[in-house]
Amino acid sequence: MIGGRTLIGQIATFIDSLHLSYHEVMDMIPYRVLVIMSKDRMHEAYGEVVHRISGKELAQQRRNK
């Protein structure tokens, strides 16, 4: 299991999830920046698409229920 429990696991996780090279993770990018990059990484969204509606449309929907 690759994970953040050991130093090698953290390195492997950064390399895999951020698509970086070993040299970038170990020598070029500071640890704090790697953590921020892994938190700010884009994630897939699940669920329904939210549509914006006006207040009048929302009131009309509530009246119809």
Confidence category of residue 51, pLDDT binned at 50, 70, 90: confident
Residue 1 lies in a domain: no
User: Could you give the percent of the chain with pLDDT greater than 70?
Assistant: 88
* Structural domain range at position 11: 7-64
- Give the count of domains, the chain: 1
Q: pLDDT for 14-44, tens place per residue?
A: 999 899 999 999 999 999 999 888 887 766 6
pLDDT for position 25: 93
Residue 14 lies in a domain: yes
Residue 2 lies in a domain: no
Question: In this structure, are residues 59 and 39 in contact, taking their beta carbons and an 8 Å threshold?
Answer: no
Query: What is the Cα Rg of the chain in Å?
Result: 21
E strand or H helix at 63, and its extent? helix 55-64
